[in-house]
Amino acid sequence: MVNDRIGVYVCHCGGNISDVVDVYKVVDAVKDEPNVVIAREMMFTCSDPGQKQIEDDIKEFNLNGVVVASCSPHLHETTFRRAAARAGLNPYLLEHVNIREHVSWAHKHDKEGATEKAIKIVKSGIAKVREARALETIKVEMPPKVLIVGAGIAGIRAALDLSKLGIHVYLVEKSPFVGGRVAQSYNAYPSGKFGMELIEELINEVKQQKNITLITNAEVTSIKGVIGNFSVEIIKDPRYVVADCPRFKEAIDKCPIEVPNEFDYGLTNRKAIYYPYPNAYPELPVIDMESCNRCGECVKICGDAINLDQQPEKMRIDVSAIIFATGFDPYQPNEGEFGFNVFESVITLPQFERLLALCDKKLVYKEREIKDIAFIYCVGSRQREGNEYCSRYCCVATINSALAAIEKFGEINTYHIYRDMRTYGKYERYYEEASKKGARFFRYSLDEPPEITQKGEKLIVKVKDKLTFNEEIELPVDLVVLSVGMVPRKSEIFSMLKVPFSRDGFLQEVHPKLRPVETAIGGVLIGGACQAPKDSVEATASASAAAAKAATYLLKGYAELEPFIVEVNLEKCTGCGDCVKECPYDSIQLKNINGEEKAFVIEAACRGCAACAAVCPEEAINLRGYTYDQLRAQIDAMLM
């Protein structure tokens, strides 16, 4: 069926389009196209009056197709589809063509050529709508169950938000204890609390929730399925501590094994049976079997509470949606980078934060009291080769740590050697406070980074200060702290679902403004620093946003997916299987239909990439909304 009553609306976009494209000429060129019954120019089509005009025309002229020529469909296609639906027109009989980004912004110095291009693009939109058919969204049932991977501050926050709405959450953490990187921080801004305190507050909330299943010391080994029906396999590694015992402290003291404590970044040692910090959760300690020599001292003290023969446990759960909150890793400087691993008094910012927590009345490192500290910024961020991105949080975190050191230990001289200071938003007050407390700031160039040498017990930081017209300054200090950025955490779990990554290696959202926590994989959401460098406030905000988005599906019990998926013409299909091999999402398979092998589409899994259609030798596969008939009509219209 050909749609024979089409309305066309060409937008001025407040001059963004009409300053280059002759909008009136475009309207005049298309108003007599076959099946066009009304064509208008509009100043702001997306405005309320603009939408109302489209709605009124659909009703008055009994339109069965609409073309809007304006800005990017990423911005307002949904707006116009909703307007069409309000007027009673199937929203997928509307075509939104882009004559701003594709025409006026691309051809500002060729107004005549831009106008001709706009005419052709609008004509191609008309041709496509003429061949369009009404489509319906795909409805998928969504039982109220969610998997959250990662129990740092973001994962716990998302779990609490969902749990309070009555949604069951499986919270899976790879480490034996929850808390992530925030638990390691000394003075978390802007609250000023210890990271351990923040995690403890969240855990106290978790304990009050009945529908959060916390699974620690566990890894997701397989994820299959689609939105509304993900099947997840988990392996829970042995904890070897299987019950409570009032003598755990004694058992830990008796353990003869000591290894570097990863929680303190190697600044301290821990036993083979351990808690990472006081009040860690879960409340049972864990045995590091890679370090344990099975001497049995802990068993003698705690008896059946410890089982050194405990085996891994396999679990399988079914969920409707998945939230990744897998966090980040701090950048590890290369050997010799700003003296790292060359001079023992060069440490990273995360190590410095643990040092602040571990020291009491004096700031001591390697048995030497620290009075003069140089902080070097942008280590592992904004590199020409490597991590090109800015990690954002480092400037504020560094100044905050310097202030914490001054507050805790009194007279400490801090030198801040930076490229650009990015204490954005309200955090500018940290920079001002540090300045008032005697912090000295030196700005260096990427082409002339600071040099570190040693003279006696002092490290000498040599820097050419751009603030004093490249004057070379030497700073004798006791400690150099490298302000390292965040790097994306690698995990095989992402490849299980083919979750896309950004150019920086973090998990990629669909759109930073319109769909900021959704991935291209239906039902898979992201929150926290796995998406991009974030501080704790931003991480929890994005985690709550991911929880809110998941809740919009789970509370109503179903999700509506876009109908732009492939469909198979069974009469043309020969069952060759080329489409099955090509599909990157395993959404198409061969199925016996009336005694013959035919391609079959799993609708909820299809992403509409149409890779299968491209390899089909019989043109038996069409992409809804972009059929062969529509595409050929568009090409013909462009060439006329």
> For all residues of the chain together, what is the average pLDDT?
95
| 558-603 residue pLDDT tens | 998 889 999 999 999 999 999 999 998 889 999 998 889 999 999 8
Give the per-residue pLDDT at 1.
59
383 and 479 fall within a common domain: yes
Q: What are the CA-CA distances from residue 363 to residues 24, 261, 411 (Å)?
A: 74, 19, 11
In a domain, 242, yes or no: no
Give the tens place of pLDDT for each residue, 17-45. Answer: 999 999 999 999 999 999 999 999 999 99
Q: Which of 487, 517, 543 is the last residue of a domain?
A: 487
**For residue 358, what is the enclosing H or E element?**
helix 349-358
Q: Which contiguous run of DSSP H or E holds residue 168?
A: strand 168-172
Are both 613 and 482 inside the same structural domain?
no
Q: Are residues 38 and 82 in the same domain?
A: yes
> Of the residues 487, 503, 531, which one is the last residue of a structural domain?
487
Number of H helices, E strands in the chain: 16, 34
Q: Which tens digit of pLDDT belongs to each residue from 619-629?
A: 999 999 999 99
pLDDT at position 491 is: 87
pLDDT average, residue stretch 336-351: 97
At residue 561, the pLDDT reads 87
- Share of residues in the chain with pLDDT > 90 (%): 91
287 lies in the same domain as 408: no
Regarding whether 347 and 199 lie in a shared domain, the answer is no
The residues, ordered by sequence, that sit 6+ positions from 118 with a Cβ below 8 Å of its Cβ are 10, 17, 21, 26, 69, 99, 103, 104
Residues 358 and 479 in one domain: yes
Q: Which residues contact 512 (CB under 8 A, 6 or more apart)?
A: none
**Per-residue pLDDT tens over the stretch 57-92:** 999 999 999 999 999 998 899 999 999 999 999 999
Residues 474 and 495 in one domain: no
Residues 416 and 531 reside in one and the same domain:
no
Q: Which pLDDT score is estimated for 268?
A: 95
Identify the band that residue 314 occupies on the pLDDT scale cut at 50, 70 and 90: very high
What pLDDT shows up at residue 28? 97
**Does one domain contain both 464 and 344?**
yes
Show the domain range for 219. 145-237+312-327+489-558
Domain containing 607 — which CATH number?
3.30.70.20
- For 212-241, write each residue's pLDDT tens digit: 999 999 999 999 988 999 999 999 999 999
Gap between the Cα atoms of 331 and 346, Å rounded: 14
Q: How far apart are CA 157 and CA 537, in angstroms?
A: 11
- Report how many domains make up the chain: 5
3-state secondary structure of 149: strand
Query: Are 317 and 394 members of one domain?
Result: no
Same-domain pairing of 461 and 357: yes
Residue 112 is assigned to a structural domain of this protein: yes
In angstroms, the CA 284 to CA 241 distance is: 7
